[in-house]
Every structure is written in C-alpha cells, then in structure tokens.
Chain A
Amino acid sequence: EVQLVQSGAEVKKPGESLKISCKTSGYNFPSYWIGWVRLMPGKGLEWMGIIYPGDSDVRYSPSFQGQVTISADKSISTAYLHWSSLKASDSAMYYCARLGVPAALMTHFDPWGQGTLVTVSS
C-alpha cells in the first residue's frame, strides 16, 4: 500500500525557519514526482511545487518561487518543504501528494498525505 505520512503540526514565530516532511512507503520513491499543496482557511487548494526524487528536478509555481524550498532524500524516501523565514501569511495546511503515474509530470495527484498544519504567530 502506498502511504505518505507527514510530520506533525507546527507553531512558529515570524522570521523562524521550518522544514516539514513527507515520508513515503510502498512504492519506488525515485520514480514518481511528489508535490506540495497549500490550503488556507476559506480558500481553494494551491499548487506550490514538485520534485522528481530520481534526479532532484524541482519545479515551482511562480507564486511560491523563492518563498519555499522543496527537496527530497532518496535514502529515506522522504520529501521536504522548507521555509527560511516564516511569515504570518504562511499559516495554512500543507499537503504532500504523489503524482499518479511513474515519471510522468502531466498527471493527477494520488495519493495524498494527511496534511501538516503550520501556524505562524508572534
């Protein structure tokens, strides 16, 4: 069974750094793109970016380019989302999700992680 298990909820102050994780199992991690999606209260899902662990190719949505860093560690089948300096506006639920077809970028997300709630407040 394919599983994506995300790290727990975080409460941080503005200006602090944060890295959240998405540990995967049940499939060949290097062979599938894995991405991050933001969900803010009262808003729709937002595509942030995606990484191909096989060669670390990363693509960012323009809205998130320069705001976050996506990485992956093949040795432990885990993807990461990192902020170097959080803002209050980064408070949201963040989901990781794997693309549904190996090596394909133009495809749907399936499955999804359970989500990590990030709260940034002074």
Chain B
Amino acid sequence: EVVMTQSPATLSVSPGERATLPCRASQSININLAWYQQKPGQAPRLLIYGASTRATGIPARFSGSGSGTEFTLTITSLQSEDFAVYSCHQYNTWPYTFGQGTKLEIK
C-alpha cells in the first residue's frame, strides 16, 4: 500500500506566521491527495482536494501544492482557530491511506 509520511509530527508556529506542512507518498499518487483539519472532539473537515483545490468555505489562507510524491499544505497568517491536527489522504491507489497527521501548535 501507499505509505503517506507526515513529518514533523508536531509543528510549533506563532500566530500570524506561516505554517508549511509536508506530506510525502511512497509512490506517485498524481494529484489525488486531500488535506483534512481535525480539532479535538470534532470530525475531520475537508480543506483541500486534488492537491490544490480549496473546498467550499475554506479561507484563502489555506493552500495546497505538489504532485507525484511531494505535497505541501501552507497556511499563511495563522489564526487561533487554525491550531489543530492536519492529515493528508491519498485516493489514487487502493487501499486508500492517510498520513499520521501533523499537530500544529501555538509557539
């Protein structure tokens, strides 16, 4: 199966700064990648699909990039509500798989 690697497991960034969260696939997944945000006690929320398309209602400070095996979620001008766990998800190759997640915490 395709292994999705998210490193670091925890990223500390100050409010107002930019956060860059990487996700690497063990083999090419084209652009069949989504990003989800999850806060404690809540369900995951779709942020990005097709590697770079923002989901409905997602603020423009969230952007996705990459193709093949290297992907990045970028959050500019971090707001307090952005501190959460972010997971990448490949839906190119069965079985579909998720990364282990990166916890974005306040520095």
Which chain A residues have a beta carbon within 8 Å of chain B's beta carbons?
37, 43-47, 59, 61-63, 95, 97, 100, 106-115
A residues near B44, Cβ cutoff 8 Å: 37, 45, 95, 97, 109, 112
Instruction: Determine whether the beta carbon of A47 is less than 8 Å from that of B97.
Output: yes
- 17 interchain pairs (CB within 8 A)? A44-B99, A45-B36, A45-B87, A45-B98, A46-B98, A47-B96, A62-B95, A95-B43, A106-B91, A106-B92, A107-B49, A108-B49, A108-B50, A109-B89, A112-B45, A112-B46, A115-B43
Instruction: Determine whether the beta carbon of A108 is less than 8 Å from that of B43.
Output: no
The residue in chain B whose Cβ has the minimal distance to the Cβ of A4 is: B43
The answer, among B32, B50, B55, for a CB contact under 8 Å with A110, is: B55
> Contacts A100-B49, A112-B45, A115-B43 hold; do A61 and B95 have CB atoms under 8 A apart?
yes
The residue in chain A whose Cβ has the minimal distance to the Cβ of B102 is: A44
Cα-based distance from A47 to B94 in the complex (angstroms):
10
Kindly count the residue-residue contacts between A and B in the assembled complex, taking CB atoms under 8 Å apart: 61
Instruction: Determine whether the beta carbon of A106 is less than 8 Å from that of B32.
Output: yes
A residues near B50, Cβ cutoff 8 Å: 108
Instruction: Determine whether the beta carbon of A44 is less than 8 Å from that of B101.
Output: yes
B residues near A111, Cβ cutoff 8 Å: 43, 46
Judged by DSSP, the binding face of B is loop
> Contacts A44-B101, A46-B98, A47-B97 hold; do A108 and B91 have CB atoms under 8 A apart?
yes
Within 8 A of A (CB), among B62-107: 87, 89, 91-92, 94-101
Among A46, A110, A115, the one with the most B-chain Cβ atoms within 10 Å of its Cβ is A110
A residues near B99, Cβ cutoff 8 Å: 44
- Verify if B1 is at the interface (C-beta below 8 Å from A): yes
B residues near A108, Cβ cutoff 8 Å: 34, 46, 49-50, 89, 91
* Closest 7 pairs (CB-CB, A-B): A44-B100, A108-B34, A61-B95, A108-B49, A112-B43, A45-B98, A110-B46
Cα-based distance from A95 to B87 in the complex (angstroms):
15
Cα-based distance from A121 to B101 in the complex (angstroms):
27
B residues near A114, Cβ cutoff 8 Å: 42-43
Among A44, A59, A63, A112, the one with the most B-chain Cβ atoms within 10 Å of its Cβ is A44
